[in-house]
Amino acid sequence: MSKSNDSIKKTLTVAFLLCLVCAVIVSSAAVALKPLQLANQELDRRSNILVAAGLIQPREATRERVNAEFDKIQVKVVDLRTGEFTNEVSPAEYDQLRAAAEPATSERLAVDPAGIRRLEHFGLVYLVGDLENPDRIIIPVRGSGLWSTLHGFLALEGDGNTIAGLGFYQHAETPGLGGEVDNPNWKAQWPGKKVYAADSMQPQLGLSKNPSQEHEVDTLSGATLTSRGVTNLLQFWAGERGYGAFLAKFRQGGV
């Protein structure tokens, strides 16, 4: 008499083979889709840079339009310790967030108002127009909010002081409160504001309940900690530990 097909050994064998087949299928799909995922990530990064700079509107962010506009941008690497351009790393291959996590390419911050823990040695910059007299200067910014790290781009006019736009592409702040950093009406307050006061290296921009100066915009209603986080991260990246020395060159008439 043949053995029962319901034996534990046969059941486990069938389950193992089924898991093995499924694992092979999933792994193959992940490998096959990796290039598409990377291409979509790059498209999203380019789109966020262009939208923050006011070069395109979100509804215009087709692959063709984004790539065409981004081709007009020069990507450079700045040594954040000196404010000078550097050729030590390639802008096409440099991963700024990964560099921030590596002790060899970053330093731990003793004073850390933005809540980023470590600061990378080199930072990317995106320049629209002439290298020495650009129309736009776009820098990546990040810092802690209430629940998450906010990642975004700050776009400045060629004077290195006047804000052209601000946008965050990644965060987990509370919808309707800190999540209002995505609100177009709030973001529309930033263009035209000034980062620095006259003859000052210290950034003054930030959020205020009663904005009355050229450096201030409305705070996020009901989101005190997110508002404070946005102020801190902007002042950090525009300050001396961030891109401050680099931006000072444009305020003084060129690199």
Q: Which of the pair, 213 or 104, is modelled with greater confidence? A: 104
- Asked which of 39-43, 158-162, 186-190, 239-243 is least confident by mean pLDDT, the reply is 39-43
Pairing of strands 206-208, 216-218: parallel
Contact 136, 53 (CB under 8 A): yes
Digit-coded pLDDT (tens) for 91-101? 999 999 999 99
**Domain-by-domain residue ranges, the chain?**
1-71, 72-251
Give the pLDDT of residue 229: 96
Residue matched to tokens 């004073």: 111
The whole model's pTM is what? 0.83
The CA radius of gyration of the chain, in Å to the nearest whole number, is 23
Digit-coded pLDDT (tens) for 160-191? 999 999 999 999 999 999 999 999 999 999 99
37, pLDDT greater than 70: no
Amino acid type, 79 = D
Task: Please give the full DSSP string across 149-217, using - where no structure is assigned.
Answer: EEEEEEEEETTSSBEEEEEEEE--PPTTTGGGGG-HHHHTT-TT-BSB-TT-SSB--EEESS--STTEE
